[in-house]
Structure 1
């Protein structure tokens, strides 16, 4: 189970939890990066997502075909290096921070409060884990967004070249563009994700127990993780659109082939401009479909791989402890 559980016979070290988080992030990113590319292309498009002379993209199939035809199959993994680094860092910090904060909550709160209100506790702990992760990965996220959004005209040849160029032309502040909506988005999203995961896991156990079936712990982590990812992403999605729009400010030259561009003075201006020009639903939920596919698949696989790795590490520790006991005898 994700989160600190005092009744566990074997508790993992933070380094072991970090390893599990890093592996889960790397696996999920490698498998589902194309959904992220599609989502970002949709989010950054000013024109409506419908068939017209001005719209570059208007559907998942059309966009995928267009990207492959114009840029090659590997374009679906565009920005994969910074994205992979982002996922590894994010998975590591997110899960370790969550395990640490839930353990701290268990020590500070009365035992009945922690047990009876675990979803609420996980909501708050997940929010703090999300804030910690965002501060660490924001520069990589900005670089990933820009690499994905540039077309045939390359302003950045690599992640390192991009970071150096941004720092030189825009200052360190350029690497943290969109940090306010990012923090506003990630903290509640991760909090909700962990909270709904806990709720869905409890329902999963009760449902299987009620039917007299064996509880499928690890399989349940994939199902419940997917559900938690879908719910949390849908609730917080508009902030993700605003974040992506702000991250590509000052980058309009490389995006001219994709359609219109806009200059936003900040989070509030971006919010009102999108609402006025593109509409609340059509503007703030651009790219929602690939994003939900990605959220479900990535969240489900992340929880599954994380719990599987933790299970294997716990099994190894138990085996080593038994072997040491046998040696003493």
Structure 2
């Protein structure tokens, strides 16, 4: 068996930043229909019939997807995808990609990060990400909530993603692009702490106790051409 060569060169902050954004975009491409179904289910109580009764069009996640495909076509599941990818590239890059850098900031460059500094780093990057990417989230949800093709008057609200940014800023003011920012910051700060801090602690335990080293060496020994 040939010797095992380790690479101790850590990725730069730029690599982490763009790597997190690209990974999130790939995940968004796969899960976007589920996100669209979630938005439709959340807002359907706002629609009322001519008699003033609430209209229930969607029932369950997969029932919502099935209804949208039948009534609006398969492309409706990806309404707002461009804004969604813009959101992930700006949101996940900050939320995940800058976590290690922010953790070093709170520990003043040392490697001994306690639970407090990890929580602070998670809260900070989660809040920063929302403050930075909220306009993309607003536009994404607007497209997902819009019935594909036209609204009740037969006129499209937005002609495209960039037109949506301009229209919202013009008709609702710049603050309209940051609607819901406060609750979203609170939510994502908590989520970021739960996700990244838990991941960070488990990763350190695996590395400190060499839990995966035996498995890695075993797989390397049985790899083709290594014996």
Report which structure shows greater RCO (CA 8 Å, sep ≥6).
Answer: 1
2:159 is aligned, of 265, 268, 277, to 265
Aligned-pair RMSD on alpha carbons?
3.0
Map of 2:200 onto structure 1: 307
Of the candidates 75, 78, 96, which is equivalent to residue 194 of structure 1? Answer: 96
Report the equivalent of 1:170.
72
Query: Given that residues 227 and 296 in structure 1 are in contact (C-alpha distance below 8 angstroms), is that contact kept between their aligned partners in structure 2?
Result: yes
Q: Distance in 2 between matches of 1:201 and 1:222?
A: 9
Task: Tell me the CA shift for residue 320 of structure 1.
Answer: 9.4
Q: Report what 2:32 is aligned to.
A: 138
State the partner residue of 1:148. Answer: 42
Distance 1:268 1:276 in 2: 12
Corresponding residue number in structure 1 for 2:50: none
CA gap 1:189/1:216 in 2 versus in 1, 3 angstroms: same
User: Equivalent of 2:183, from 264, 270, 290?
Assistant: 290
1:224 equivalenced with 2:117 (yes/no): no
- Which one has a bigger Cα radius of gyration? 2
Larger helix fraction of residues: 1
C-alpha offsets along residues 142-180 of structure 1, whole Å, 9 cap, x if unaligned? 011111112153211111110101111111111111000
Question: Which residue of structure 2 aligns with residue 128 of structure 1?
Answer: 22
TM-score calculated relative to the size of structure 1: 0.54
Give the Cα separation in 2 of the matches to 1:165 and 1:250: 12
Measured at CA, do residues 163 and 313 of structure 1 come closer, stay the same or move farther in structure 2, by a change above 3 Å? farther
Q: Is contact 1:249–1:264 with CA below 8 Å preserved after alignment?
A: no
Query: Which structure 2 segments of 5+ residues have no match?
Result: 1-5, 46-53, 215-227
Kindly provide the CA deviation profile for residues 84-119 of structure 1, in whole angstroms up to 9, marking residues without a partner as x: xxxxxxxxxxxxxxxxxxxxxxxxxxx5xx56xx21
TM-score, scaled to structure 2: 0.76
Q: Is the 8 A contact 2:96 2:196 kept in 1?
A: no
Deviation at 1:250, TM superposition (A): 1.0
Unaligned runs of 5+ residues in structure 1 are 8-110, 257-261, 322-329
Cα distance in 2, alignment partners of residues 297 and 6 from structure 1: 34
Please say if residues 19 and 97 of structure 2, whose CA atoms lie closer than 8 Å, have aligned partners that are also in contact. no
Distance 2:166 2:125 in 1: 29
Query: The residue matched to 2:112 in structure 1 has which SS?
Result: coil
Distance in 1 of aligned mates of 2:36 and 2:21:
21
